[in-house]
Chain A
Amino acid sequence: MQQTAVIELNDVSKIYPLPSGDVLALDHMSICINRGEFVAIMGPSGSGKSTLLNQIGGLDVPTSGVLKITGKNIRKMSDTELTDLRLNAIGYIFQKFNLIPLLTAYENVEYPYILKHRENDTTGRVSRLLADVGIDRKMAKHKPAELSGGQQQRVAIARALVNDPDILLCDEPTGNLDTKTGGQIMDMLKDLHRQGRTIVIVTHDPLIGKQAERIIQIRDGRVAEA
C-alpha cells in the first residue's frame, strides 16, 4: 500500500495570547500520519493534545507552520472551507458523544449526509451504518437522551462515518464509558482500522493507547516520543 500522508504537521506552533502572557500550546511540532494508520496521541493534561486535535480537526488553525489535511494547508482556509473540511474529510467522535439532542439517533446519523448531499438518504447508507454499529431500527427512533452512553457512542461512530471521511478523529472515545462498553467501542474502532480507515485517537489512558499501531507522546507542546 502506498504511503500517502493524510495529516502532515511541519513546524506547527499554536500560541494563545493571554493578558498574563502568551501561552505556547504547540511548540514547533512536526508529525506525519499516513493513510490507513491507527495512531494514538498521548500525553498528560495540559500537554497540548487537545489543541493538536482541534488543529487536525479543522476547528482551529495554527499560528505558524504548515498543517496539511489531505494535502491542503488549513492555515490558508476560510471559515467556510474549514467547515466543509469538517463535514467531508473528518469524522469526529467525542468523549461526551455530542449528538444533537433535538434529533433521533437515525436523524443524527443522517444529518451530516443531508448537509453534504442536500437531500435525504435514499441509498440506505444510514440504516446500514447503524446496523453495523449495532443500533437496531427501534433504537434508531429514540432521541439521544433515551439511549445509554455506549449506544450514544455507537450512534456517534455511525455519524462520523456517514460522509466517508478521510480521518476518524476520536477524543477520549471511551472516557465516559465503563470498561466493558469502552472495550466494545475500541473493538469497533480496530475493526474500522482493519477496513482501511485512518484513525487518530487522543487519550491519556495507556490501556487505550497501546491498542493503536503507533503512539505519539506529547509533552509541553512537543513530540516527546513517536
Chain B
Amino acid sequence: MKKKNFLTKDIILQLSVRSIRLHFLRSVLAALGIVIGVVAISSMGMMGANMTMSVTEQLSSMANVLVVRADTGGGGGGFFAGPGGGGGSTSTVRRSSSSTSTKDYLTRDNLDDIIRAVGTSGTVYPLYQDSDKIQVGDNTGRATIYGMRDDDMPKVLTVDKGVLPNTAGSIAVGPSFAERQGLTIGSRVTIGDATQNETVAKYRVVGILKEKGMSMDLNSDNAIIMTEKAYVGLFGGEEEYDQVNVIVSDISTVNETKTAITDKLNRKTNVVTIQDSSRMLESITSTVGTLTTFVMAIAGISLLVAATSIFNVMMMSVTERIREIGILRSIGTQKAEVRKMFLYEAIILGLVGAIIGAIMSLLLGWLVVLIMVGTTKYFFTFQSLVYVPMAMVIGIAICIFSGVYPAWKAADLDPIEALRAD
C-alpha cells in the first residue's frame, strides 16, 4: 500500500524536510553560507598544516647538525669553567684579536673527546671564527672569517668556482659575500685593522663557494674561509676552537650523540654546551601555527556570517509559519515537537552545507595548498585532512546554535495568537 510511503514514522522530520523543499532557494542560500564557512576554515587549516609539515621537513634536513661550544657559564656554573680548573678537559679563555672581550674556546683535548664520543656516528670538525675589518680595493667593511683545518674543508664545503684554499695566503669566499664585494677568482682582500695594532695581511681569493643556505654550523655564504694556518697567523690562538661541529650521519641518533658528548665532556662540570636545531624547529613550527590560527580566525568570520544568515532564515521560517505552528499546536502537537521541527530544519541545512563544504574544501584546499605551499605531498595526511571533519563539526554546531532561538520562539507561541495570524 502506498500509504506507508506517505509519511515516515518521524512526521516532524518530514515537516522540516518539506519546509526546506518548499523554500528551496532560501534554504540553499543559507546552506551556502555554511558551505563557504566550512571551505574557508578547512582549506585555511589544511594550508597551515601542510605548510608546517613542509617547513618542518625542510628544516629537519639540517637538523642533523650539533654545534658544540665552550660553556660560557651563564648563571651559577660560570666559575667552574674558568682557568686553572686543571686537566685537559677544561676550556680556557683567550683574548680575541679583534676585540677586547674575552671569549671561551674549546681545546684540542676537548675536540679529541668529542671525536671519541661521536665515534663512527658522525663527522666532527672544529671551526675558528672571528670577524674583522676587511678592505677590497678602496672599500672597507667587516666580515665573518672562518678558519678550517685543511682536511675538513672538502668534507664540508663545495666550491662553485676555483679551488679550496690550501696556502696561508689564499682564501675562499661565500657567494653572497663575493657578489656584494665584487670579488672574483684572483681578487685581493686585505684583512685586519691597522689602527687597532692588529696584524694586517693581504689574501688572494682562490675559490667561490657554492650557496649553502642558512644553517646552524657554518654560515659560509656570507663569510671568508681560510686555512687554519692563515687564521692562526692572523688571530693567533692555535687549537683554540670557537666551536666544534658534529654532522650526525643518521638523524635518528642525534639525541644519542648529544648525550654521548655531554656524558664525555660534562662529567664533573659543564665544559661545553651543545646546540641542536630542535629549538629552532619548534619556534618556526609554532610561528607557522600562530599564523594558521590567525588565518583560520579570519575564515571563522565567514562562518559567523553564515550563522547570521541561518538565523535569519530560521526566523523567517518561524514568522512565515506562525499560523501553521498555531494549527499544529491546536490539533495536539507538543511544544517539544514544534521545537524539534525547527531544530531539524537547522540541522538539515547544516548537514547539507557541511557535506557539500567538505567535498568542496577537499578540492579547493588541494588547490590552495598547491599554490601556497607548492607541494601537495602532505595533503592526504591525518594532520592535514583532520581539518575537514573539524570544520564540518563547527559548521553544524553553528547551524544548531543559530536554530535554537527561533525554534524556542516557535514552540512558545500562544496557539490562539498564532491561529489568528495571517
Contact, CB under 8 Å: A102 / B333: no
Contact B330 A120 (CB under 8 A): no
Checking A60, A107, A115, A122 against B416 with a beta-carbon cut-off of 8 angstroms, the contacting residue is A60
Tell me if B329 counts as interface (CB < 8 A to partner A): yes
Please indicate the chain A residues that have their CB under 8 angstroms from the CB of B9 in the complex.
Answer: 114, 118-120
Most central of B11, B331, B333, B416 by chain A CB within 10 Å: B331
CA distance in complex: A122, B337 (Å): 23
- Across the interface, do B3 and A121 meet the contact criterion of CB distance under 8 Å? yes
**Chain A residues closer than 8 Å to B323, beta-carbon distance:** 98
B416, A59: Cβ atoms closer than 8 Å:
yes
A126 in contact with B3 (CB, 8 Å) = yes
Q: Is B15 an interface residue (CB 8 A)?
A: yes
From A57, A114, A127, B330 is in contact (CB under 8 Å) with: A57
- Assign chain A's interface to a size class: 35 or more
B6 contacts the other chain (CB 8 A)? yes
Q: A86–B324 contact, CB under 8 A? A: no
- Which residue of the partner chain A has the closest CB to B327? A98
Q: Give the residues in chain B near A8, CB-CB below 8 Å.
A: none
CA–CA, A126 and B6, complex, Å: 12
How far, in whole Å, are A88 and B11 apart by their CA atoms in the complex? 18
Neighbouring B residues of A99 by C-beta, 8 Å: 327
Q: How far is the CB of A57 from chain B (nearest CB, A)?
A: 7
Judged by a CB distance under 8 angstroms, whether A43 is at the interface is no
Which of chain B's residues have a CB closer than 8 A to the CB of A59? 330, 415-416
Contact check, B3 vs A102: say whether CB atoms are below 8 A apart: no
A83 to B332, CA, bound (A): 5
**A121 to B6 CA separation, bound complex (whole angstroms):** 10
Alpha-carbon distance A46/B227, docked complex (angstroms): 112
A205 at interface by CB-CB < 8 Å: no
A102 to B13, CA, bound (A): 12
The answer to the question of A38 belonging to the interface, with a C-beta cut-off of 8 Å to chain B, is no
A87 to B415, CA, bound (A): 14
Contacts of A126 in B (CB 8 A): 3
CB distance from A197 to the nearest CB of B (A): 17
Assess whether A102 is in contact with B19, with CB atoms less than 8 Å apart.
Answer: yes
Would you give the 0/1 interface string for A17-48, flagging 1 where the beta carbon is closer than 8 Å to chain B? 00000000000000000000000000000000
Taking A57-B330, A112-B332 as given, write out 4 further A-B residue pairs in contact, using a Cβ cutoff of 8 Å, ordered by the A residue number.
A84-B332, A87-B332, A104-B6, A159-B331
Which residues from chain A sit less than 8 Å from chain B, CB to CB?
Answer: 54, 57, 59-60, 79-80, 83-84, 86-88, 92, 94, 98-104, 106-107, 110-112, 114-116, 118-122, 126-127, 159, 163
